[in-house]
Amino acid sequence: MLFGEFVPRERAAALARGRGPGAEGLLQFDPEEVGNAYNRRPFILRHRLTEHPLLTPQALFSLCRRLPSDYVKIRRGVIPGNAHFDSSYDRYRDGLSLEETLEHFEELKAYICIYNPERDPIYRPLIDSLLGEIAAAIADTDPVVTWFSTYIFVSTSGAVTPYHMDREMNFLLQVRGDKEVLLWDPADDEILSPAEKDHLLSGFGAWRPIYKPSFEAKAMHFDLRPGLGVHHPFIAPHRVHTLDGLSVSLAFTFRTLKSDVATKAHSFNEVLRRLRMSPQPIGENEALDHAKAVASNAVRVPIRLWQARRRVMYSRTQASA
């Protein structure tokens, strides 16, 4: 299943110009901070979502009941920080049903991730508004949003989102409760080697580079309380801990033309590596990266066939585990 939504070019252009300078919205961006730090390093932003009626636990539990079951992931909250992220919902669900979880949420130390609340017509205007504000805020730095996907996390004290990295950018917005967010620099070759980045971005399967204990000393720590959010640069690894009390947070992940070019270039590098070549890392030569992105279109069919084979092999591995 493909979560998220592609943004047509015309809509992307309208979003970027839809909010004029000084207009008050739900997100409070510092233009200087965005210009200096966006996609280079994490930074804190403020928002006005803490009193939003659609983001109360009661409203979110009602949303869980309305959405298709595939869009509501449930598990225990207290799990190892180095647990395998993609299989964590299956591995730590422990037989919980949706109704049981919603009725005894805090008692069960549960954790819910709601995928794409914008599928619900009641939530769509809120998500559209946030998309417009993000697109306008980054228009001078990273124009043209091409895709987005949102997630709402409801968790209890001690809950953990294991170490992983997304294949896009992210703004994590804390609405209720407190969280500690640990982020790592994706430009650090010890954290993510060039070969690992190529492999990660060559497809949308479940493979992601794993956590190593030596990474801990390099973590950047951010304490989020209601009304604060933190920017995750492109493919920045992260781990999240819920502190005291019930927590609600919203993650807004998205891609842009620039990140699409980088993804395609990494995909092409992965093909070269499969041919036992040693390509120049992405990010060192912008013109070459663009050429690789264009060339990746010519090998898209072979890449997709290879990705399909990877998914089959992964499924077989999981089935035999």
Look up residue 125 and give its two tokens. Answer: 């205007």
Task: Looking at the structure, tell me whether residues 164 and 312 fall in a common domain.
Answer: no
Residues 169 and 315 in one domain: no
> Quick one: 97 and 183 in the same domain?
yes
Q: Are 249 and 291 contained in the same domain? A: no
Same domain, yes or no: 20 and 139:
yes
**Cβ(147)–Cβ(200) under 8 Å?**
no
Give the gyration radius of the chain's Cα atoms.
20
pLDDT tens across the length of the chain (321 residues): 568 999 998 998 888 776 554 567 999 999 999 999 999 999 999 999 999 999 999 999 999 999 999 999 999 999 999 999 989 999 999 999 999 999 999 999 999 999 999 999 999 999 999 999 999 999 999 999 999 999 999 999 999 999 999 999 999 999 999 999 999 999 999 999 999 999 999 875 678 999 999 999 999 999 999 999 999 999 999 999 999 899 999 999 999 999 999 999 999 999 899 899 999 999 999 999 999 999 988 776 555 565 566 666 666 665 565
Please check whether residues 11 and 129 belong to one and the same domain.
yes
CA-nearest of 243, 229, 238, 230 to 179 is 243
DSSP 3-state of 286? helix
Residues 28 and 61 in one domain: yes
Give the integer Cα–Cα distance in Å for 153 and 8: 27
Q: Are residues 190 and 103 in the same domain?
A: yes
Which three-class secondary structure state does DSSP give residue 196? helix
Q: Cα separation of 276 and 298, whole Å?
A: 19
Do residues 238 and 278 share a domain?
A: no
**Domain total in the chain:** 2
Given 218, 238, 256, which residue is the final one in a domain?
256
The answer to whether residues 55 and 152 touch, using CB atoms and an 8 Å cutoff, is yes
What's the domain range around 281? 262-320
Looking at 206, 224, 256, the residue that finishes a domain is 256
Instruction: Provide DSSP, 53-72.
Output: GGGSHHHHHHHHHHS-GGGE
Q: What is the pLDDT of residue 223?
A: 98
Domain-terminating residue out of 256, 286, 301: 256
Whether 75 and 214 share a structural domain: yes
Handedness of CA 310, 147, 134, 228 (dihedral sign): negative
What does residue 128 show for φ and ψ, rounded to 5 degrees? Answer: -60, -40
Task: For residues 197 and 220, state if they share a domain.
Answer: yes
Tokens of 253: 């992940």
Q: What pLDDT, on a 0 to 100 scale, did the predictor assign at position 9? A: 87
Enter the tokens of residue 57.
């636990």
Question: pTM score, two decimals?
Answer: 0.91
Give me the pLDDT at residue 3, please.
Answer: 84
Rounded to an integer, what distance in angstroms lies between the CA atom of residue 159 and that of residue 123? Answer: 25
CATH number at residue 78: 2.60.120.650
Residues 56 and 180 in one domain: yes
Per-residue pLDDT, 311: 63
